[in-house]
Amino acid sequence: MLIERIERVLRANLKEAAHPETPPRLGQALVHAVMPGGARIRPQLALAVSLACGDDDPHLSEHFAGALELMHCASLVHDDLPCFDNAAVRRGQPSVHSQFGERLAVLAGDALIVMAFRSVIRCKTRQAHRLADVLGYLESAVGPSMGIVAGQAWECEPVAQIQVYQRLKTGALFSAATMGGAACAGADPRAWRVLGEALGEAYQVADDIRDVIMDTVALGKPACQDQALDRPSAARQLGLEGALGYFDQLIANAIEGIPACRGAVRLRNLVLKESERLLPLQQRSMALDPLASASMASS
Amino acid sequence: MLIERIERVLRANLKEAAHPETPPRLGQALVHAVMPGGARIRPQLALAVSLACGDDDPHLSEHFAGALELMHCASLVHDDLPCFDNAAVRRGQPSVHSQFGERLAVLAGDALIVMAFRSVIRCKTRQAHRLADVLGYLESAVGPSMGIVAGQAWECEPVAQIQVYQRLKTGALFSAATMGGAACAGADPRAWRVLGEALGEAYQVADDIRDVIMDTVALGKPACQDQALDRPSAARQLGLEGALGYFDQLIANAIEGIPACRGAVRLRNLVLKESERLLPLQQRSMALDPLASASMASS
């Protein structure tokens, strides 16, 4: 199972972080930031693409997949800080700064970025000549021009380029997952761009829809943040029905974007399963029936 | 000149960060965090060691040296945040969060960590097999068990191990500079540990001494912060005269720790010059004459 390989590599990363010399509360904050996880969709995607391409270097693909998740966790910890979203809750438990204070939240985010690079740098790859390429996908997915940091920093600009912002904020790690996953297995990464970009945007649209229709308890984080923080949102721009149609189109694009390969069927199933997890039937009904949604939210 | 090679690689890094897709204020914050610089002692040390070992891969050694400085700048930006030192001034100009706000300071620090890795990952090395080793020195110098993040996180523990704290907070990047500098040139890094550790500790002791005897204007950052924040300090533990003697001993250890190599004389001169820059004669006199120091501070 993909998820088991991912949890194993994440546990290994955290164990190393809990070195005797690691300050104990920092170690606890790191575990809190990573465990228990969300759906681990980015690393699952990376590993599924590596498998579809032959996965001839499983150490490299697993550590790259784990590194994507560590980067994602780092971005959540820093996004939740008081100066950004000031979110008290994340994945149904207190956010890192709520539990450990702001200083350890800043440091835990920094540490997770470093641990992500470390995980790939120190993995026992059989293909050392792939290392620079794979690390390149990792760093550009989080960096200041094309990555997560850029996406978050557009929130600090007086005039934000909304499309750029959305693509970077969630799309960067998804594209890195598919293209980097291919690079781990020695395949041509360019053929895998469409799948990553379409899924990344679908993920963002689903998030926008859920932000509107779900309450805080069900969401595991504060609801209606996009409106409260005046953030761009497909649900606000297209309406809930329009956003649902757009989501379905993006999933169709993602499936069409899967290159011909021996793992194509498995990948198609993963994308379909993920689309149902992202927007279950019940939530679709809620999106199309505002009254049901309203009574649900007030219950 | 070492310093010219370093400034050139830093300018190249910043130019890349100022990509058309980089949010403009983030780009400005990154330049502000790196330029104008301090003494650039860590990258100078790394490059001097690479040269002493033959410097057969100048792209790698320059980008590694630049990466150390970017990591150092990242740590300064995050250390200055309101939740840590809340420092309004750094290197004689407004700190990043004073000038650009807390959100961009968090993001600029994150970006600088990523840019440091990127600089080494994407450098045109002739010796790709050295890349993982060199990146390993970079990541462990900043990571959560043995690096800068660990050092800073000890400040958040109820019981701090002071020696561990001091070694990590400043020593980690100095050891990485000497050992990683050797690794860039294909030499045995272990022979270069003593030089890095002794210089790192000397740097910390000099900082402690200056924190006591200098005023805010001369220091370019708030003075007497160690006492105000109840931080461990050689000057507080040993007295100013004791701390001066300890500093001289560390410089002697550093010089003795330089391995026999064709660049030994050049390195010895660099260490001596740096020791005079760290604690000029005038400051030594002030340290030994508290009355002069007091009148200086009130002038």
For residues A17-32, average pLDDT: 90
For residues A212-221, average pLDDT: 70
User: Does A291 have pLDDT greater than 60?
Assistant: no
Task: Write down how long chain A is.
Answer: 299
DSSP states of A30-83: HHHHHSS-S--HHHHHHHHHHHHTT-S-HHHHHHHHHHHHHHHHHHHHHHTSTT
Q: How confident is the model at residue B297 (pLDDT cuts 50, 70, 90)?
A: very low
The 8 Å CB, 24+ separation contacts for B228-233 are: B229/B85, B231/B155, B232/B160, B232/B162, B232/B165, B232/B166, B233/B208
Q: How confident is the model at residue A288 (pLDDT cuts 50, 70, 90)?
A: confident
Nearest to B107 by CA among A143, A30, A100: A143
Which of A21, A25, A146 lies nearest to residue B146, judging by beta carbons?
Answer: A21
Helix (H) or strand (E) segment spanning residue B94: strand B93-94
Q: How far is CA B191 from CA A30, B105, B114, B187, in A?
A: 34, 38, 29, 9
Nearest to A19 by CA among B56, B231, B140, B217: B140
Contact predicate A254/A199, CB 8 Å: yes
pLDDT at residue number B234? 78
In this structure, what are the phi and psi dihedrals at residue B92, rounded to the nearest 5 degrees? Answer: 75, 5
Which of B22, B106, B156 lies nearest to residue A150, judging by beta carbons?
Answer: B22
Contact predicate B132/B60, CB 8 Å: no
Q: How confident is the model at residue B19 (pLDDT cuts 50, 70, 90)?
A: confident
pLDDT at residue number B124? 86
pLDDT at residue number B128? 83
Cα A268 to Cα B234: distance, rounded to the nearest angstrom = 62
pLDDT at residue number A237? 80
Q: Which of residues 11-40 of B touch A (CB under 8 A)?
A: 16-17, 19, 21-27, 30
Query: Does B122 contact A at CB distance below 8 Å?
Result: yes
pLDDT at residue number B295? 44
Q: Six-digit token pair at B288?
A: 């030994």
**Helices A264-278 and A41-52: angle between axes, nearest 10 degrees:** 170
Contact predicate A67/A116, CB 8 Å: yes
Q: How far is CA B124 from CA A268, A286, B111, in A?
A: 38, 54, 21
For residues B61-81, average pLDDT: 97
Model pLDDT for residues A180-215, shown as the tens digit of each residue: 999 999 999 999 999 999 999 999 899 888 888 876
Query: Does A186 contact B at CB distance below 8 Å?
Result: no
The 8 Å CB, 24+ separation contacts for B290-294 are: B290/B240, B293/B213
Provide the H-helix boundaries in A80-147.
96-100, 102-121, 131-142
pLDDT at residue number A128? 83
Cα B172 to Cα B196: distance, rounded to the nearest angstrom = 8
SS3 B214: coil
Q: How confident is the model at residue B132 (pLDDT cuts 50, 70, 90)?
A: very high
Q: What is the CATH number of domain B2-298?
A: 1.10.600.10
Among A143-157, A161-175, A262-276, where is mean pLDDT lowest? A161-175
> A23 vs B122: CB contact, 8 Å cut-off?
no
| Nearest-5° Cα angle at B223, B219 to B226 | 125
pLDDT at residue number A214? 76
User: Does A136 have pLDDT greater than 50?
Assistant: yes
Cβ contacts of B14 on chain A, cutoff 8 Å:
none
Kindly report the nearest CA distance between residue B203 and chain A, in angstroms: 22
For residues A243-266, average pLDDT: 92
Which of B121, B152, B168 lies nearest to residue A136, judging by beta carbons?
Answer: B121
Best-predicted range by mean pLDDT (B8-22, B69-83, B123-137, B253-267): B69-83
pLDDT at residue number A298? 44
Q: Number of CB pairs < 8 Å for A and B?
A: 179
Cα A250 to Cα A195: distance, rounded to the nearest angstrom = 9
Which of A27, A115, A143 lies nearest to residue B111, judging by beta carbons?
Answer: A143
For residues A153-179, average pLDDT: 82
Model pLDDT for residues B150-190, shown as the tens digit of each residue: 989 988 888 766 666 767 777 899 999 999 999 999 999 99
Cα B164 to Cα B171: distance, rounded to the nearest angstrom = 10
> B139 vs A132: CB contact, 8 Å cut-off?
no
Q: Which letter, b or e, does each residue of A67-93 get, where b requires 16 or more Cβ atoms within 10 Å of its Cβ?
A: bbbbbbbbbbbbbbbbbbbebebbbee
Contacts of A142 (CB under 8 A, 6+ apart): A71, A74, A75, A113, A148, A149, A172, A173, B110, B114
DSSP states of A253-269: HHHHTSPS-TTHHHHHH
CA A101, distance to chain mean position in Å, is 24
Query: Does A226 contact B at CB distance below 8 Å?
Result: no
Cβ contacts of A102 on chain B, cutoff 8 Å:
83
pLDDT at residue number B282? 80
Pairing type for strands A89-90 and A93-94 reads: antiparallel
Give me the amino acid identity at A100.
F
Nearest to B251 by CA among B226, B278, B232: B278
For residues B33-57, average pLDDT: 94
Contacts of A233 (CB under 8 A, 6+ apart): A208, A211, A212, A226, A227
Cα A157 to Cα A241: distance, rounded to the nearest angstrom = 30
Cβ contacts of A156 on chain B, cutoff 8 Å:
23, 25-26, 100-101, 103-104, 107
Q: How far is CA A23 from CA A13, A30, B148, in A?
A: 16, 11, 12
> B78 vs A110: CB contact, 8 Å cut-off?
yes
Q: How confident is the model at residue A229 (pLDDT cuts 50, 70, 90)?
A: low
pLDDT at residue number B299? 39
Q: Six-digit token pair at B56?
A: 């057969």
Average pLDDT of chain A, as a whole number = 89
Give me the amino acid identity at B67.
A
Paired with B164 in beta bridges are none
Cα A6 to Cα A46: distance, rounded to the nearest angstrom = 10
pLDDT at residue number A81? 97
Percent of chain B topping pLDDT 70: 90
Q: How confident is the model at residue B218 (pLDDT cuts 50, 70, 90)?
A: low
Cα B187 to Cα B190: distance, rounded to the nearest angstrom = 9
Nearest to B179 by CA among B122, B235, B130, B247: B130
Q: Which of residues 132-171 of A touch B (CB under 8 A)?
A: 132, 135-136, 139-140, 142-147, 149-150, 152-157, 164, 168
The answer to whether the bond into B36 is cis (omega within 30° of 0) is: yes
User: Does B67 have pLDDT greater than 90?
Assistant: yes
Q: How far is CA B175 from CA A53, B123, B233, in A?
A: 41, 22, 20
Q: Six-digit token pair at B107?
A: 């993001």
Q: How many C-beta neighbours within 10 Å does residue B28 have?
A: 17
Q: How many C-beta neighbours within 10 Å does residue B8 have?
A: 12
For residues A218-224, average pLDDT: 69
Which of A83, A131, A144 lies nearest to residue B106, judging by beta carbons?
Answer: A83
The residue extents of the domains of chain B are 2-298
Cβ contacts of B128 on chain A, cutoff 8 Å:
128-129, 131-132
Q: Which of the two residues, A280 and A68, has the higher pLDDT score? A: A68
For residues B62-72, average pLDDT: 98
pLDDT at residue number B51? 94
Longest dimension (CA), chain B: 57
Cα A49 to Cα A189: distance, rounded to the nearest angstrom = 10
Which of A106, A139, A150 lies nearest to residue B81, judging by beta carbons?
Answer: A106
Model pLDDT for residues A76-105, shown as the tens digit of each residue: 999 999 999 999 999 889 999 999 999 999
Among A74-88, B10-24, B173-187, B213-227, where is mean pLDDT lowest? B213-227
Average pLDDT of chain B, as a whole number = 89
Cβ contacts of A129 on chain B, cutoff 8 Å:
128
Kindly report the nearest CA distance between residue A35 and chain B, in angstroms: 17
Which of A27, A114, A154 lies nearest to residue B23, judging by beta carbons?
Answer: A154
Cα A266 to Cα B143: distance, rounded to the nearest angstrom = 37
Percent of chain A topping pLDDT 70: 90
Q: How confident is the model at residue B285 (pLDDT cuts 50, 70, 90)?
A: confident
SS3 B63: helix
